[in-house]
Structure 1
Amino acid sequence: MGHMRISDATTLLARTPTTVSALLLDLPDEWLHRDDGPDTWSAYAIAGHLLHGDETNWLPRIRLIMEHGTDRPFEPFNRVAMLSWDREPVADLLDRFRSVRSRSLEDLDALGLTPSDLPRSGTHPEFGTVTLSQVLSAWVAHDLTHTAQIAEVLAGRHRDDVGPYRRYMPALDRFAPAE
């Protein structure tokens, strides 16, 4: 078993909506909706992806592990569902994310997980057998990855404007792939 501690995971997961809101609230649409080209996401789309993950992915999979183990496979996750949503003000999207995340963490806490639950297994449609620890760790890493991705796509707006400073800003050479 790795380094996963449930309380560490929930502490970090609780911070994501505030962090994403701090990055995106009150930005002009041209910042929120710009992407780096084909097969990349905007900061707004990434926030929607985080919301959709909470609604349909992480906690439902943890519940499946707890209730059915490997007997019932996870539903595939539609990673691009948010791209078909009607656009709403970013403040509304972020409020929904904050609310859904809060409920997700309350529901996770209500499961009463203990360290002895972390090795329990479920069946991922692509990866096969995964442990609850891996799902919980992936949820945390997913949040951090996409928070960094939001910062990178926002920084990318200045990619051509920073001149020689670019050599010290590796984020400007990365693009936010649709993952």
Structure 2
Amino acid sequence: MIFSLDKAIELLERTPDVLNTMLLGLSADWTSANEGGDTWSPYDVIGHLIHGEQTDWLPRAEIILSESVDKTFRPFDRFAQFEDSKSKSLAQLLDEFADVRSRNLERLRAFNLTDSDLGKKGIHPVFGEVTLSQLLATWAVHDLNHIAQISRVMAKQYKNEVGPWIEYLRILKA
């Protein structure tokens, strides 16, 4: 499928509801467990998504669309959620994510992007030159990546309990 802003927005606008349905009201046994070591729990992922909404996707799109000669993105702190989410409940984080995502999609629509705009470029601190369409496609796929991550982390809580059915559960082998 070729990138379509409308199709990306279809996905982006649904993510808060998907995560609410998936996580709201679950016990902390499900939402605070991770895969060990420095991996993230579902709670951590929601904090990460909020931080991305605040500092990554739209700020970078604005840099690309700006008249500024310098199109370099500021580095993104992939671990800021550990400080930013402290003392917040999962319900608060889910509400915050839904709110900031809604506002960001309103801002995105207000850009009234053209095909020409989607080809404009910015400078990523690691990847170098990227287009606005690549940034926006990545935003949508980033959501799907973290929904899959949350599913995997939660599934692994029963890895030993499924017994021989593990052979048919690809999610437990990832």
TM-score band (shorter)?
A: over 0.9
| Same amino acid, percent of matched pairs | 45
Separation (CA, whole Å) in 2 of partners of 1:132 and 1:69: 15
2:101 paired residue number: 101
1:4 paired residue number: 3
**Matching residue's letter, 1:31:** W
Q: Deviations over 1:63-92 (max 9, x none)?
A: 100004762310100001001231311111
Taking structure 1 as reference, are residues 131 and 138 closer, same or farther at Cα in structure 2, changes over 3 Å only?
A: same
Separation (CA, whole Å) in 2 of partners of 1:155 and 1:53: 25
1:114 offset after TM fit, Å? 1.7
Runs of 4+ displaced beyond 4 Å: none
1:134 paired residue number: 134
Q: TM-score, normalised by structure 1?
A: 0.93
Number of matched pairs: 173
Q: Deviations over 1:85-127 (max 9, x none)?
A: 3131111110000000000000001111122211110010111
8 Å Cα contact 1:48/1:93 also seen in 2:
yes
8 Å Cα contact 2:71/2:121 also seen in 1:
no
Written as runs of structure 1 = structure 2, the 5 A alignment for 1:1-179 is 3-68=2-67, 71-85=70-84, 86-174=86-174
SS at match of 2:78: coil
Q: Deviations over 1:18-64 (max 9, x none)?
A: 00111110011121110111121001101111111111100100110
8 Å Cα contact 1:70/1:129 also seen in 2:
no
Q: What are structure 1's unaligned runs of at least 5 residues? A: 175-179
- Superposed CA RMSD: 1.3
Q: Deviations over 1:124-155 (max 9, x none)?
A: 01111000010001001100000110111111
Taking structure 1 as reference, are residues 18 and 98 closer, same or farther at Cα in structure 2, changes over 3 Å only?
A: same
SS at match of 1:130: strand
Q: TM-score, normalised by structure 2?
A: 0.95
SS at match of 2:157: helix
Separation (CA, whole Å) in 1 of partners of 2:27 and 2:69: 46
Separation (CA, whole Å) in 2 of partners of 1:163 and 1:44: 27
SS at match of 2:123: strand
**Matching residue's letter, 1:117:** D
8 Å Cα contact 1:121/1:130 also seen in 2:
yes
Which structure ranks higher in relative contact order (CA pairs < 8 Å, sequence separation ≥ 6)? 1
